[in-house]
Structure 1
Amino acid sequence: MCEQCCCAGAVDPTNPLRPPGVPESGAVSPAPLFHPSPKIHPGRVLMDDYLGPMGISIRRLADSIRIKRGRLESIIGGRSSITAELSMRLGRYFGEPKTYWQDLQCKHDMEMACCAWEEDVDLIRPRVRW
């Protein structure tokens, strides 16, 4: 775990899917959409929070949203990213905004970039605009 990231320490190590400040009982007021930690790849969110609990197979989802099973397996395995097109398909299928899945991917990508390059980027001297 990167200690320098903007979200360092925000994830409960015993349950990284539980948002900070949410007790184990989950007794909080309901939110319209669950926003997992950006450290978690959206493919894992798809598998752990949607397909698994709903009893939907990868093949069934791939057929339902009209994509190849291999593409979906690659996303679930964290080897591929969710594109705008796939975000629209998943949003339509699960009844969420079409940007929901791409937003998760963008936040994940930024978190990973912060872990990898933040120190180097901080060495760049900002250009004064005027």
Structure 2
Amino acid sequence: MTITPRRAIAVHPGEILQEILDQNQITQSLVAERLGMAQSKISDICRGKRGMTPDMAMRLGRLFGQNPRFWLNMQENWELSQLNEAAYAGIEPIHLQTAV
């Protein structure tokens, strides 16, 4: 029997942001106001139309008392999940010698 590894399920950080807002009854407008930016930016992130930048991760981390890495790691996982691994199949690895 061959076991095929499953691909990890990644979620866009905007989906998580919207869940946090919904669970805490916080509006996108309030977040935008507290962050000093247009509500459309928050909306675009929540709808998956815009990615999580380091600046936005820092702002949200500060606003919610989180480590900005929480948001950046989620963005990175999302971006990697969107790649077609088959497109990279032709790349031949170079075997590096390990330094001691």
Normalised by the length of structure 1, the TM-score is 0.65
- In the other structure, the counterpart of 2:43 is 73
Relative distance call for 1:5 and 1:70 in structure 2 (3 A) is farther
Post-superposition CA distance 1:76-129 (Å, at most 9, x none)? 11011010000000001111112211111111111111xxx2012022112344
Task: Provide the C-alpha distance between the structure 1 equivalents of 2:23 and 2:58, rounded to a whole number of angstroms.
Answer: 21
Residue number among 52, 55, 58 corresponding to 1:85 in the alignment: 55
Structure 2 unaligned blocks of 5 or more:
none
- Code of the residue aligned with 1:46 in structure 2: it is L
Q: Which residue of 2 aligns with 1:43?
A: 14
* Residue-pair matches, total: 94
- Specify the alignment match of 1:16 in structure 2: none
Q: Which has the higher contact order (CA 8 A, sep 6+)?
A: 2
- Greater Rg over alpha carbons, structure: 2
For 1:110 and 1:70, how far apart are their aligned partners in 2? 25
Runs of 4+ in structure 1 off by over 4 angstroms are none
SS of residue matched to 1:78: coil
Distance 1:120 1:78 in 2: 24
The unaligned stretches of length 5 or more in structure 1 are: 8-36
Partner of 2:32: 62
Say whether the 8 Å CA contact 1:43–1:76 is kept in structure 2.
yes
Answer yes or no: is the 8 Å Cα contact 1:58–1:69 preserved in 2: yes
Deviations 1:20-54 (A, max 9, x none): xxxxxxxxxxxxxxxxx42x211011101x10010
Q: Structure 2: how far apart are the matches of 1:45 and 1:127? A: 38
Alignment-derived partner of residue 127 in structure 1: 94
